[in-house]
Structure 1
Amino acid sequence: MSVAKSPDPGSAPPLTLERTRINIPSAHPVGGKRLPQLPDALDFWGLSNAPANVAMQMAWPEVGRGVVESTVESGALMKHPWKRLRTTASYLAVAILGTDEEKRAIREAVNVAHRQVRSQPGAQVKYNAFDRSTQLWVAACLYVGFEDSYQMLHGRMDSEQAEAFYSTAATLGTTLQVHPDMWPKTRADFDAYWVDACRRVSIDEEVRAYVDDLLHLRMIHWYLRLFFGGLLRFLTAGFLAPHMREHMGVAWSAADQRRFEHLFQFVGFVNRFLPKFLRNVGGPQIGYVRHRIRKQQSLV
């Protein structure tokens, strides 16, 4: 899997919801009487789309340039991948499961790093990590990742299930600076926002090179890439929507799609027989954050 030049926007097919989301098989709808909730997506395999989600976020010029040009070395993904993973997991756990006090604590910690992420005078792309519209895009990418991975594991949600799953998602953004009024009120409103936001996707050569390093896991040791690189590259490509793959130059065939779906049919089947405490990462992560808060240790 490689990243090449993005296609000529004038020759690309019209942008639709289907082209901005991955294909979810419809043969096995979500079962059970209880409506699914966002915390249900905090599954070990549900986090397999993390690299794809970072790539999606960087597809907005403000995020891509902000990541590439950032001087905050302590949180740099390519230099400190495990610390960045821990920070992101902590933020997500608090945003989804945390109390108001814990949300304030993680907000203050993240804000310290974000204050240093802003474009320099004369920069071609202006960005500021405190910009609410940019944070809304990042939060929307996070939500899409959770919804896609949940459905790949459990089956396609119907409209009532999707609305219930979406109902508590606003905290993915409002835990930072996104105002509650900015978050789309309904799942249909979110779809409309998402398609419109995807029209701003644009990746320059330097950001594309960064994404290529990310997709090929060049931030981890070579022996880990040897064992896990092929699978993670496949998962990353699978969790990118057609529109994103085109801009990133990532090849994906009908045979790849079938293998992707078959993999998650198998994983989803196995997951049904695993105790929740083994497959759910939300509880341990929020416990870890609460321990660090009690000990007054850094959260990022």
Structure 2
Amino acid sequence: MPAAQLGSLFGPDSQFHRFFNDPRWALAMVRATVLEAAHPQIGAALIDNSTFVAHPWRRLRNTLVSLQRMFGADDDARQREAARLNRLHTRLSGTDARNRPYDAMDPQVRAWVVATLFESAVTMCRLSGQPLEQSAMEKLYAEFQAFLAALGDQAGHLPPTLREFWQYYDHTVQTELENTQALRIILYKLFDHLPAPPLLDGLPTVWAAGRALAGPVIGTITVASLPEPFRRRAGLPEVPGAQTLMQSAYMAAGLARFLPEGWIRTEELTDLLYLSADSDDPRAATITALRGRMKRAGALFRLITPFPVQPGPDGGAAPGRSAEEFFDAVLDQTGDGFLDWPDLAAMARELSSRLDLDEPEETRLYNAYAEWWRELQAALDIDGDGRISREEYAAAVPSLAGPALIRVAEVLFEVTDTDGNQFIDADEYRALFRTAFRRTVADADERYSRSAFVQDFLSFMSGRRRSSAYDPLLAGA
């Protein structure tokens, strides 16, 4: 597809852009993710490599940023994002529990991801009582075809016409989707154990109360919205009243169309979820006052509900943490209970995404993490199974800081120091940590030196010290 034709399908006049700030899109995204996870190859890749269990809010934010770049009006940004996604997918391959291969660069797999986004957008309109007209549906389908073409995939991986798409979609649902482990985790574990976003971190009682009510509802709505042939074949439960609840939720979300334009902006809501009390954002003062009220509400909940109270960062937690706590919060990025290469690759991926790295800086960072993984494996993999358990890590030397970890710190400093002046200034600091300088890390000239950066990074990664800068970067949900 020519570049000029691609450009005409993106930007503020696109059909997709109209959906991006639509509350119904949140329900559609969850539904699309479940349909993706039901594909054997995608489900296996999620289980082995994704941080969606341990860091779901971070993954959500990265997905939204990626979609904005791909569907935005800036063609250069779209090309850079497409190149980044292709590099990311190239690194995701392996075999599942049944020894079946998976490859994130498989064009049919990539086509199914795009297909779930398109079909879920169409379904959300239908379920909310506002079905798309045929012309709008065809325009939306052309936009998602252009999305796939922007990634460099050749035509033919998605059917050329909308009529043929529905045949392809029904065939895939009936013959290829499975009740995968990733699907079960999303439906029955993720919503029940969803960690609090940064905005509500430190308010465990309030969050537990809301999650206990909302989690089962979201799971029930999502299951009810899935194609009936797949629900039956996968043995997903039929909850009485689920269809009514699902349609009510979509229709209620659809009422947002009557709100004044601009009242709901996905980007601002996402930023708000990531706003911490000590942020330099002007909204932080209001959030701090709100958190105070929510804490008082939490105290009331503790009197009348059985939700367990867990210590949060505002609850006087000690500056350090045990080896087991550090393992779970920082090292085990995929949440599977072990430390292996996908966990460190997830760190490299998150840092590269935050800094918006191109080649060769991205590969330098990945290579540094790969060398650290080899160092950790040689030192801590006692039973030789190719991964490090929580017990192996705790029993060894948790404060291990060898040459490879030092190299990770140095490379991270170098790719953050974009002007090469051997200091991280305010803008560079904000790009990495998404907040302004902290007095604990900035010197009198408001510059972060290489030596100070490396020392702080090593103290966090090997000494298990809590850090107002690094905890949100690598341990935040």
For normalisation by structure 1, the TM-score amounts to 0.72
Say whether 1:187 aligns with 2:162. Answer: yes
CA distance in 2, matches of 1:121, 1:201: 15
Letter in structure 2 aligned against 1:96? F
Question: Using a 3 Å threshold, how does the CA distance of structure 1 residues 130 and 292 change in structure 2: closer, same or farther?
Answer: same
Contact 2:24 2:250 in 1 (8 A): no
Partner Cα distance (1:64, 1:227) in 2:
27
Distance, in Å, in 1 between the alignment partners of 2:180 and 2:266 is 35
Aligned counterpart in structure 2 of residue 250 of structure 1, from 211, 226, 236 = 236
* Structure 2 residue corresponding to 1:47, chosen from 18, 21, 26: 26
In the alignment, is the contact (CA less than 8 A) between 1:202 and 1:247 conserved in 2?
Answer: no
TM value normalised by structure 2 = 0.47
| Higher-RCO chain (CA-CA 8 Å, sequence separation at least 6) | 1
Q: 1:102 — aligned with what?
A: 77
| Aligned mate of 1:263, from 236, 243, 249 | 249
* Matched residue type, 1:281: T
Return the match for 1:168 from 143, 160, 180: 143
Q: 1:187 to 1:279 in 2, by over 3 A?
A: farther
After superposition, what is the alpha-carbon deviation per residue over 1:134-154, rounded to whole angstroms, capped at 9, x for unaligned?
A: 100111011112221233345
User: Which amino acid in 1 is paired with 2:40?
Assistant: P
Q: Does 1:37 align with 2:15?
A: yes
SS of alignment partner, residue 92 of structure 2? coil
Letter in 2 for 1:59: A
Cα distance 1:280–1:149, how it changes in 2: closer, same or farther (>3 A)?
farther
Equivalent residue for 2:36, pick from 53, 57, 63: 57
Q: Assess, with a 3 A threshold, how the Cα gap between structure 1 residues 120 and 198 changes in structure 2: closer, same or farther.
A: closer
Q: Residue type of the partner of 1:63?
A: I
Cα pair 1:143 1:172 within 8 Å, conserved: no
Alpha-carbon distance in structure 1 between the residues aligned to 2:43 and 2:105: 15
1:16-41 Cα deviation digits (max 9, x unpaired): xxxxxxxxxxxxxxxxxxx9822222
* C-alpha distance in 1 between matches for 2:62 and 2:167: 30
Are residue 134 (structure 1) and residue 119 (structure 2) matched?
Answer: no
Aligned to 1:31: none
Structure 2 portions without partners, runs of 5+: 1-12, 197-206, 271-353, 358-426, 433-477
Structure 2 residue aligned with 1:66: 45
- Three-state SS of the structure 2 residue aligned to 1:179 is coil
Which residue of 171, 176, 186 maps to 1:201? 176
Matched residue SS, 1:119? strand
Counterpart contact for 2:44–2:95, Cα < 8 Å: no
Tell whether 2:256 aligns with 1:278: no
Task: Tell me, in whole angstroms, the C-alpha distance in 2 between the residues paired with 1:185 and 1:103.
Answer: 23
Larger radius of gyration: 2
- Once residues 81 and 206 of structure 1 are traced to their aligned partners in structure 2, the CA distance between those partners, rounded to angstroms, is 17
- How many residues are aligned here? 257
For 1:253 and 1:206, the matched residues in 2 are separated by 21
CA RMSD of aligned residues (A): 3.5
**Cα 1:253–1:156 shift into 2, 3 Å:** farther
2:236 alignment partner, SS class: coil
Do the aligned residues in 2 keep the contact of 1:215 with 1:233 (CA within 8 Å)?
Answer: no
Q: Percent identity between the aligned chains?
A: 17
Partner letter of residue 63 of structure 2? T
Shift of 1:49: 2.9
Q: Which amino acid aligns with 1:44?
A: P
Following superposition, the deviation at residue 280 of structure 1 comes to 4.4
Q: In 2, Cα distance between the equivalents of 1:58 and 1:283?
A: 28
Contact 2:30–2:222 under 8 Å retained in 1: yes
**Any idea what the Cα deviations from partners look like across 1:137-182, whole Å, max 9, x if unmatched?**
1110111122212333451223233223323221342343432443
Query: How far 1:217 moved relative to its partner?
Result: 4.1
Stretches of structure 1 that go unaligned for 5 or more consecutive residues are 1-34, 286-290
Q: 1:214 and 1:52, CA in 2 relative to 1: closer, same or farther beyond 3 A?
A: farther
Structure 1 residues 192 and 120, CA gap change in structure 2 (3 angstroms): closer
Aligned to 2:258, the other structure's residue is in SS state: coil
Q: Greater CA deviation, 209-218 or 43-52?
A: 209-218
Q: Within 1, Cα distance between the matches of 2:178 and 2:62?
A: 25
Equivalent pair of 1:237/1:250 in contact (CA under 8 Å): yes
Is residue 57–residue 63 contact of structure 1 (8 Å, CA) maintained in 2?
Answer: yes
CA contact (8 A) 1:49 1:149 kept: yes
Identify the range of structure 1 (91-100 vs 171-180) with the bigger mean alpha-carbon deviation. 171-180
Per the alignment, residue 90 of structure 2 pairs with 115
1:236 aligns with 2:222: yes
Residue 78 of structure 1 pairs with residue 53 of structure 2: yes
The aligned counterpart of 1:23 is none
User: Contact 2:107–2:153 (CA<8 Å) still a contact in 1?
Assistant: yes
Give the Cα–Cα distance (whole angstroms) in 1 for the partners of residues 136 and 193 of structure 2. 38
Closer/same/farther in 2, CA of residues 249 and 261 from structure 1, 3 Å limit: same
Residue 127 of structure 1 aligns to a residue whose secondary structure is strand
CA distance in 1, matches of 2:261, 2:356: 25
CA–CA separation in structure 2 for the residues paired with 1:203 and 1:93: 30
Superposition deviation, residue 247 in structure 1 = 4.1
